Amino acid sequence: MTEHGDPYGHGDVPRGLCEALGVPTEEFISTVGLFRRVHVHHSEGEWWGSGEPLQVLIGVSGDSEAVVASPKFEWSGQELLLHAADPDPAQRNEQLDRQLNEITKKRRKAFRYCRQCRTVTAPEHRNTGPDICDSCAARNGTVF
């Protein structure tokens, strides 16, 4: 049991979000999936993200409206800032599922396998070339 009384032990299940969407937590997990808390730069709402690398965002605005968005990263010096791009009011049920799938599909198109470590890599971690991740580039001697 977590502090939210979640029987599945998924402590990150967005309770406030489930309330904004009007769905029980269990239903959220079984239909929408598992999300974890993420920090969106300069945002007043609360946000959760899903996927590794991050593929989709869902949030609750200050006035308790559920919103979906695409994760967009921006480097600020050595810090990687997350932005919620193209936010849209979250639909309900199957439409929400479709919304999330569309965002996910678009984001995945930008993923590449690193040619050295074969890890799926998002564009924000391929700063030296389209098919090499930053970790491998650093091992190869690139200084960021």
Binding positions for Zn ion, rule: CB under 5 A:
114, 116-117, 133, 136
* Residue 114 Cβ vs Zn ion, minimum distance, rounded to whole Å: 3
**Phi and psi, residue 115, nearest 5°:** -75, -15
Judged by CB, which is closer to Zn ion: 46, or 124?
Answer: 124
* Residue 141 Cβ vs Zn ion, minimum distance, rounded to whole Å: 14
* Residue 134 Cβ vs Zn ion, minimum distance, rounded to whole Å: 8
Judged by CB, which is closer to Zn ion: 88, or 117?
Answer: 117
Place of tokens 């409206």: 65
- Whether residue 25 contacts residue 33, with contact meaning beta carbons closer than 8 Å, is answered with no
* Residue 127 Cβ vs Zn ion, minimum distance, rounded to whole Å: 12
Judged by CB, which is closer to Zn ion: 31, or 117?
Answer: 117
Q: Which residues pair with 56 in a beta bridge?
A: 50
Where does 68-125 have alpha helices with state H? 93-109
Cα distances (Å, whole numbers) of residue 36 to 29, 39, 48, 81, 86: 12, 10, 5, 17, 20
Judged by CB, which is closer to Zn ion: 104, or 116?
Answer: 116
